[in-house]
Each structure stands twice: as C-alpha cells, then as structure tokens.
Structure 1
Amino acid sequence: MNQTFTIPRFRLPGLVAALGVHLPQWPHSLALASALNLAALAGLLPKESLAQMEGRSFLVEVLDAGGQACFAYHDGRFRPLLTVPAKPDLSFRANLSAFLQLLARQEDPDTLFFNRE
C-alpha cells in the first residue's frame, strides 16, 4: 500500500513569532545560503537562472516563526547577508506550512499566491 504524506496548512502559535523576532537572524541566512550553494553544486538549480540572479539580494520571511533569512548571489555563490537591505531585489513572505508545501512540491507558487498564502 503506497500512501503519500501531505503537509497540512497550519499556523504556528503567535508566541513562536513573538519570540522568534528577538532571536539572531544571521544563522537562518547562513543556513539557507549554504543549502542553496549545495543545491547549485548538485546541479539542482538551473545555471541560466543562477546567472540572472547575479548581484541581486533576497529576503525570505517565515511569518509565523518570526524568522528571516537574507542572502545575495555574487560571483557564482549564494552569500548570507547579516543585515537586511533597505530594498531587497526579491522578497518572499509566508507561513512555515506554505514553504514546506513548496519544498515538498505539494503546492505551486501560483496556487499559494492566489490563496493568499
């Protein structure tokens, strides 16, 4: 019997975000930039797309966790940023469940966008 696991939509308790915003955010940036570099080395990220990212900054916010990760792509590598730029080139904001659904390829970005996720 083959069962697939689906990630339900959920929202972390407000206390998590209230505490999360007071924690250092640089570890998130370092972890995400490292993971993206590994994915690029493994060939999981299209080289054409990476070339278009050159010199751009990115911000990923996990709203219900109170965390954020900021990074840039420069000289062929993702690099963590210790401070958030005034205007990142691209910003993603969602709850943890939406990001997990994207990673699991359970939902596509358009569906989440139109559902206001």
Structure 2
Amino acid sequence: MSAFQIPKFRLPAFVATIGSRLPQWPHSLHMAAALNLVLKLKLLPEDTLTALEDKLFRVHVRDTGGIAHYTYRDGLFRPVFQPAREPDLAFAANLSAYLQLLTRQEDPDTLFFNRELEITGDTELGLIVKNMLDAIEFSQLRPRLPGLPLAGH
C-alpha cells in the first residue's frame, strides 16, 4: 500500500452550495473525456461495452455540488449537457469516497455498504459497471501516465 491514504472527509456545505450554482457542463465534458482516455488505452473490457449503449449515467459529487451526465454511443463516451430523462444509472458520493474508489483504497461494495456511495437505477447495469471498474488494471496507467499516484503501487 502507498504511504499516503486518502482520509474520509466532507467539504464544507457552502462549497456544494456554490458549486451547484455553477455551470455543470464542464463536469460532463471532463467525465466523458476521462472515460474516452480509459477506452483509448483499452483498459475497459470491450465485450461489456455494448451493455452501455445509449444508457444515461449521472455522477454527483455531493460535497462539491458537481454533477456530470454522460452516455455511451457508437463506441465513445459522450457528454450530455441537458438530460431529457432520468439516468439509467446514477452515482452519488462525497469527493473523498470517489478518490478512495479511484485509487483503489476502497472498493465500491465497501463504500456502498457503508452508505458512502449511493447507486440508483438499473441494478443489472450497476453490476455490469462495477465489474468493468473492477476489471480495470490501474497499474497499466502508470507507464503511460508517469507520476500518477495510485494506492497499492
């Protein structure tokens, strides 16, 4: 394990108040770009990507007020700036939980059962996405993105 551990924290409420009033489209744009990078690096299991086709996703960072909407269509993740319907799958958590998840300090099941990660929508789709995330070998990013701090490496 890395010497650095991301602590559990919650940003002050005023951050979410301000953040929720800011334009949300940059979050969607950046989320889609990050997912497309992972896609380009061939870190996502291609056999399960078809299950994501035309599904709408939402990622809400509660304590920042940030919300990203995106979809997967025609082989790419695409930002959705004004969703016309409820997402097929939605995630909500504080920033610290997402950071712990991304660095593999915590797994999605632990965060979910500790009520730090809320997942709503299509249960089967949620399981597919969870398994896709679990299949990603983040260690493969290190040679391609030097200096990337990842727990456990």
Equivalents in 2 of 1:88, 1:6: separation in Å? 32
Aligned length: 116
Alignment check: 8 A CA contact 1:60 1:93 kept: yes
Query: CA shift at 1:87, angstroms?
Result: 1.4
Query: CA shift at 1:83, angstroms?
Result: 1.3
Query: CA shift at 1:3, angstroms?
Result: 5.1
Alignment check: 8 A CA contact 1:17 1:67 kept: yes
TM-score (norm 1): 0.95
Equivalents in 2 of 1:114, 1:53: separation in Å? 24
1:30 matched to 2:23: no
State how 1:65-80 maps to structure 2 within 5 Å. 65-80=64-79
SS of the equivalent of 2:21 reads coil
**Residue type of the partner of 2:47?**
E
User: Which residue does the alignment assign to 1:99?
Assistant: 98
Equivalents in 1 of 2:57, 2:33: separation in Å? 14
Q: CA RMSD in A?
A: 1.2
User: Which residue does the alignment assign to 1:9?
Assistant: 8
Alignment check: 8 A CA contact 1:11 1:95 kept: yes
User: Which residue does the alignment assign to 1:81?
Assistant: 80
**Residue type of the partner of 2:106?**
E
- For residues 2-25 of structure 1, give each alpha carbon's deviation from its aligned partner in whole angstroms, at most 9, with x where no partner exists: 852110000000010000000000
**Residue type of the partner of 1:102?**
L
1:40 matched to 2:45: no
Percentage of pairs with the same residue: 58
Alignment check: 8 A CA contact 1:59 1:84 kept: no
**Residue type of the partner of 1:55?**
D
Gaps of 5+ in 1: none
Equivalents in 1 of 2:10, 2:2: separation in Å? 24
Gaps of 5+ in 2: 117-153
Query: CA shift at 1:49, angstroms?
Result: 2.2
SS of the equivalent of 1:64 reads coil
Equivalents in 2 of 1:74, 1:28: separation in Å? 18
